[in-house]
Amino acid sequence: MADWLAALARRADLRAKAGLTRRLSPRTADDAVVDLAGNDYLGLSAHPEVVAAAAKALSEYGLGATGSRLVRGSTGAHHALEETLADWLGVDRSLVFSSGYLANLGAVRALVRPRTLLVSDAHNHASLIDGCRISGAETVVTPHADVDAVATALAAAPDRPAVVVTESVFSVDGDLAPLARLHATARVHGAVLLVDDAHALGVVGPTGAGAVAAAGLTGEPDVVVTATLSKALGGAGGVVAGPAEFVRHLVETARTFIYDTALPPAVAAGVHAAVGLARDGDGLRAELAARAALAVDRLRAAGLDVSAPDAAVVSVTAPGPEAATDWAAACRETGVAVGCFRPPSTPDSRSRLRLTIGAGPSRADFERALEVIVECAP
């Protein structure tokens, strides 16, 4: 075996010994498990209106966008989605990317000017971390949700442009960032606040417009919002939303927008339909909140260490990476899919199951899934 392949094999062996092996597990279209691992919070991915809108666009445009947005990839479906997202989020403009990951990379890089300081929460998603790294800007990582630490970092660089970078609902434990306090702190120091609203869009806030809206920050000129379109909206892609001048800057400079093939028009059309359903989905959001509270009550009553969710993500601590893997596998064998998060995917080196509460399964199936999680606990 070539030396470089042997080195990779040794590294894989070390990961296996640490319980960190990852495997692809394909599912079928008729998979009957109760899904507490995916991010289809509102159950819209297979909604008849969403599927019909996507199918119509598929028949009109074909499978792919055929090019980047600035060449041949922009269609009426993309522009209609961007206008609707901007209206929903209460901003000047929005711009759709082919993934939430690329949206975050593009947004962070576009906010960086010479001497910019990035102040990033320790629990931020990998896409935000990579955006900070790729930007080349100095980055200060502050303790999780610590507004005082953010203020200290900003005060230490009074003459430099700065950006405070955070998720709203954090993807691992599901807790909510103190957005109003972060914004007030950023404004005092003349900094921009960048919020990844991926796990809040469609789930919290007035008409499901996200945690930024819930914090009363809609349309603020020093706030930029990013989100995926693959969670509560059940599709794919990402969005950056904010002041018109910033979105124009993205169109003209963001490499992850300019040099990437556009989101397929059928997906854009399906997501557009999903936005309409999400905006009118107060009943679904109430059901999500009730289910999240029920999950915490049932799992804590069984003696498990469970996070208190601010949206629809519930984190359950496991004794270690191997125990987490075995626990998730046992649940899967009993018909329940749960997320399994282990280092390095966790910001605190703690392994856990991550439950993403959805409105799709019946209440009876959901309650049975909670019983399975307790029964399979190590």
For the chain, domain boundaries: 31-46+282-375, 48-279
Q: What confidence tens digit (pLDDT) does each residue in 91-114 have?
A: 999 999 999 999 999 999 999 999
Q: Looking at this protein, which amino acid is placed at residue 127?
A: S
3-state SS assignment for residue 37: coil
pLDDT band for 302, please (50, 70, 90 cuts): very high
| Beta bridge partners of residue 194, listed in sequence order | 165, 224
pLDDT greater than 70 at residue 304:
yes
pLDDT greater than 90 at residue 11:
yes
Q: Look at residue 28 in the predicted model and tell me its pLDDT.
A: 87
Fold of 31-46+282-375: Aspartate Aminotransferase, domain 1 (3.90.1150)
**Taking a C-beta distance cutoff of 8 angstroms, is the pair 295, 319 a contact?**
no
Nearest-angstrom CA–CA distance, 336 and 370: 9
Task: State in words which class domain 48-279 has.
Answer: alpha beta
Q: Look at residue 18 in the predicted model and tell me its pLDDT.
A: 81
3-state SS assignment for residue 116: coil
Question: Position of tokens 């041949």?
Answer: 72
**Helical spans, DSSP H, in the chain:** 3-17, 48-61, 76-89, 100-111, 126-135, 147-155, 179-188, 211-214, 244-253, 255-258, 265-279, 282-301, 321-333, 363-375
Average pLDDT score over residue span 344-353: 83
Average pLDDT score over residue span 336-353: 87
Entry pTM: 0.95
Q: What confidence tens digit (pLDDT) does each residue in 193-219 have?
A: 999 999 999 999 999 999 999 999 999
Structure tokens at 167: 């998720």
pLDDT greater than 80 at residue 345:
no
Nearest-angstrom CA–CA distance, 286 and 91: 26
Q: Look at residue 346 in the predicted model and tell me its pLDDT.
A: 79
Cis previous bond, 344, omega within 30? yes
Q: What mean pLDDT value characterizes the chain?
A: 96
Share of the chain above pLDDT 70, in %: 100
3-state SS assignment for residue 236: coil
Share of the chain above pLDDT 90, in %: 90
Over the range 123-140, which residues count as b (16 or more CB within 10 Å of their CB) and which as e? bbbebbbebbeebebebb
Average pLDDT score over residue span 119-130: 97
Q: Look at residue 17 in the predicted model and tell me its pLDDT.
A: 86
pLDDT greater than 70 at residue 1:
no
Nearest-angstrom CA–CA distance, 97 and 108: 14
Q: Looking at this protein, which amino acid is placed at residue 83?
A: E
Q: Look at residue 30 in the predicted model and tell me its pLDDT.
A: 85
Packing angle, helices 265-279 and 76-89, rounded to 10: 30
pLDDT greater than 80 at residue 142:
yes
Question: Position of tokens 């901007």?
Answer: 86
How many angstroms separate the Cα of 294 from the Cα of each of 39, 229, 247, 345?
18, 27, 41, 26
Average pLDDT score over residue span 176-202: 98
Nearest-angstrom CA–CA distance, 377 and 331: 9
Average pLDDT score over residue span 307-318: 92
Burial bucket for residue 314 (CB in 10 Å: 0-12, 13-18, 19+): buried
pLDDT greater than 90 at residue 184:
yes
Ramachandran angles phi, psi of 295, nearest 5°: -60, -45
Least confident of 28-37, 262-271, 286-295: 28-37
Average pLDDT score over residue span 323-348: 90
Nearest-angstrom CA–CA distance, 317 and 307: 8
Average pLDDT score over residue span 148-164: 97
3-state SS assignment for residue 283: helix
Q: Look at residue 51 in the predicted model and tell me its pLDDT.
A: 98
